[in-house]
Chains A and B, each alone.
Chain A
Amino acid sequence: MNRSLNVSLIFILLHIFSSAYAHQQVAVENAWVRSAPPGADVLAAYMVLKNESEETRVLSRVSSSRFESVEIHKTEMHEGMMRMIPQDSLPIPAGGSVTLGPGGFHLMLIGPKSAPKEGEEVELLLKFSNGHSQRIKAPVQADKDRGKSTGIISPTSLFCLQEIWTGSLHRRIQCLRLLVIHKRCG
C-alpha cells in the first residue's frame, strides 16, 4: 500500500516536472524539407515553431551536419519581385507561433554534402538565444501534404488505379511505383 503510493507520487512529480520543462521550450511541428534535384546547391526547410513559454524565444542559429551552412530567410514581395531577406534571428512571441512555409520564412540549407533524397530525414540543430538548443528531424518530401500517407486508398489513388488501367505505359509504371513505394498519387 505504502509502496504503491510512493510509486504514484514519483509519477506525479515526474509529470509535473516534465510538463513544466516542456512549457519552457519551443515546440517544433510539421517540419519538412522540400526535395530538390540532385545537383541543387540550396534547399529549403519549413516548420511551425510554437513558443509554449511565457517569454519571447529567439531562434538565433541553425546548423546541420548535412549542410555547409543554414540561414534564416524570409521571402517577401518587393516592387513586384520576390526577394529573400536574410534574418539574423527569428523571434517567437510568448504563447505564440511562427510558421515557416513556402513563400515566407524558411531555413535556407546551403551546400548539401550529399543530396537529400525524398523519404530521407534531415537533422537540424536549432539554437535559441537563451542557450537552449533543440535537435529536430525533418523528412524530405516534394510538397507539404505529401508523406502523411495513411495507407488508405484516397480518391486521388482511385484516379491512379484508373490510370494504371487506362494510362500510357510510362504513366502506368509511374503510378504503380508511386502507389507501391510512396503510397501516394502523382
Chain B
Amino acid sequence: MRNNSISSGPIQILLLVIAGILLLGIGIWFGKGHNTPPANRADEFPSATVLDVPVALLEFSLNDHRGNLFTPNNFAGKWTFMFFGYTHCPDVCPTALVDMNNIYHNLAEKGDLSEKNFGIGTQFVFISVDPERDTVKELKEYVPFFNERFIGITGNAEVIESIARPMGIAYRRVPGKNADKDYLVDHSASILLIDPLGRMRAVFSPPHVPKTIAADFRNIREKYTEECCISVDEQTETVTFDYRKEK
C-alpha cells in the first residue's frame, strides 16, 4: 500500500501538471480570441493622430524661400511634412527641424522617399508664423541650413492664418524680455502630414521621435495612398497617381 502510493505519486503529479498546462493553454487561447480587437488604433500609429476624414486646405498663394509661388498645387502628388514655426525661435523650431531632418534621413536611408511609392514623393515644409520678420531672404538663410531639400514658406500674415486655423495650429505673439521688437511667438509644435491631394491627414504631436514618426508615416502612406489618389489601368496594368480624380 505504502509502496504503491509512492510509485504512483509522481505519475499523478505529472498528469496533473500536464492537465494544468493544457487548461492554461486553452484559457489563453480563448482569452486571446476575445481580447483582440479588430484594429487597435492606438497601437496602429503610436506617434500620430490620423484623421478618418482629412481636412481640406483652402486656396492660398504664398512664397517659398527661393521666391517662387507656393500654392495648393505644390502639395499635389506628394506627401508633405509641415511645421509651423519662426526663425527667431531658439529651442522648439530648431529641435523640430532637426527632428524633420532625422525623419528625412530615416526615409532616405531605406530608399523610401519616393520611388517605391507610385512615384509619389515626399517633401518637408516649414511655414513661418512670423512672416513680418521672416522674409523670403531670412528663410533662404534659415531653412536650407537644416536640410537643403526643405522648403521655407512665408507671405501674407492673414493668408498664413487662414491655412493654420483649420488645421488646428494656433499661435500668438508675446512680448520678450527686452525691447518692443524682441517678441516671441507661442505656437503649436505639431508636425502635420498633408496627403497628395493637399489635405491634412495626420498630426504628430511633440515630443517627436523621428524613428517612430518615419515608421508611422510608412504605414499611413500604405494605408491611404490608394484610397486617395491612385488609379489602376487594368488593361495596361499601369498604376498612376491621379490628382484630378477627386477635384
Q: Is the CB of B187 within 8 A of A81?
A: yes
Considering the complex, give the chain B residue whose CB is closest to the CB of A102: B95
Say which size band chain B's interface belongs to. Answer: 20 to 34
- A42: Cβ under 8 A from any B Cβ: yes
Q: Which residues of B contact A131 (CB under 8 A)?
A: none
Q: Which residues of A contact B105 (CB under 8 A)?
A: 186
In the assembled complex, the Cα of A108 lies from the Cα of B91 at a distance in Å of 8
Q: Is the CB of A82 within 8 A of B186?
A: yes
In the assembled complex, the Cα of A79 lies from the Cα of B138 at a distance in Å of 29
Q: Which residues of B contact A108 (CB under 8 A)?
A: 90-91
Chain A 15-46 interface residues, beta-carbon cutoff 8 Å to B: 34, 36-44
In the assembled complex, the Cα of A79 lies from the Cα of B87 at a distance in Å of 22
Given contacts A80-B170, A81-B186, A81-B188, contact A73 B145 (CB under 8 A): no
- A140: Cβ under 8 A from any B Cβ: no
In the assembled complex, the Cα of A47 lies from the Cα of B142 at a distance in Å of 25
Q: Is the CB of B95 within 8 A of A40?
A: no
In the assembled complex, the Cα of A40 lies from the Cα of B89 at a distance in Å of 9
Considering the complex, give the chain A residue whose CB is closest to the CB of B95: A102
- A49: Cβ under 8 A from any B Cβ: no
- A86: Cβ under 8 A from any B Cβ: yes
Q: Pick the most buried of B94, B109, B170: most chain A CB atoms within 10 A of its CB.
A: B94
Given contacts A40-B87, A83-B186, contact A75 B177 (CB under 8 A): no
Binary interface encoding of chain B residues 159-178 relative to chain A, with 1 for a CB under 8 A from any of its CBs, else 0: 00000000010111010010
Q: Which residues of A contact B48 (CB under 8 A)?
A: none
- B107: Cβ under 8 A from any A Cβ: no
Q: Is the CB of B90 within 8 A of A159?
A: no
Considering the complex, give the chain B residue whose CB is closest to the CB of A107: B90
Given contacts A37-B145, A40-B87, A159-B109, contact A82 B94 (CB under 8 A): no
Q: Is the CB of A80 within 8 A of B188?
A: yes
- B92: Cβ under 8 A from any A Cβ: yes
Chain A 77-102 interface residues, beta-carbon cutoff 8 Å to B: 77-84, 86, 102
Q: Is the CB of B88 within 8 A of A42?
A: yes
B142: contacting residue among A39, A75, A79, CB under 8 A: A39
Binary interface encoding of chain B residues 119-152 relative to chain A, with 1 for a CB under 8 A from any of its CBs, else 0: 0000000000000000000100110010000000
Given contacts A73-B91, A81-B186, A81-B188, contact A38 B98 (CB under 8 A): no
Q: Is the CB of B141 within 8 A of A39?
A: yes
Number of inter-chain CB pairs below 8 Å:
80
In the assembled complex, the Cα of A103 lies from the Cα of B189 at a distance in Å of 10
Given contacts A38-B141, A71-B177, A86-B177, contact A78 B88 (CB under 8 A): no
In the assembled complex, the Cα of A78 lies from the Cα of B187 at a distance in Å of 9
In the assembled complex, the Cα of A167 lies from the Cα of B119 at a distance in Å of 18
Considering the complex, give the chain A residue whose CB is closest to the CB of B176: A86
A115–chain B nearest beta-carbon distance, Å = 11
- A109: Cβ under 8 A from any B Cβ: yes
Considering the complex, give the chain A residue whose CB is closest to the CB of B210: A143
Q: Is the CB of B170 within 8 A of A79?
A: yes
Instruction: Across the A-B interface, give the 7 residue pairs with the lowest CB-CB distance, nearest first.
Output: A37-B145, A83-B186, A42-B90, A102-B95, A81-B186, A44-B90, A82-B189
Known: A37-B87, A156-B109. 19 other contacts (CB 8 A): A34-B95, A36-B90, A37-B145, A39-B142, A42-B88, A42-B90, A43-B90, A75-B91, A80-B170, A81-B170, A81-B186, A81-B187, A81-B188, A82-B186, A82-B188, A84-B186, A86-B177, A103-B189, A103-B207
21 of the cross-chain contacts (CB-CB < 8 Å) are A34-B95, A36-B94, A36-B145, A37-B141, A39-B142, A40-B87, A73-B91, A75-B92, A82-B92, A82-B187, A83-B184, A84-B90, A84-B91, A84-B92, A84-B186, A102-B95, A103-B207, A106-B91, A143-B98, A163-B109, A186-B105
Residues on B facing A (Cβ under 8 Å): 87-92, 94-95, 98, 102, 105, 109, 138, 141-142, 145, 168, 170-172, 174, 177, 184, 186-189, 206-207
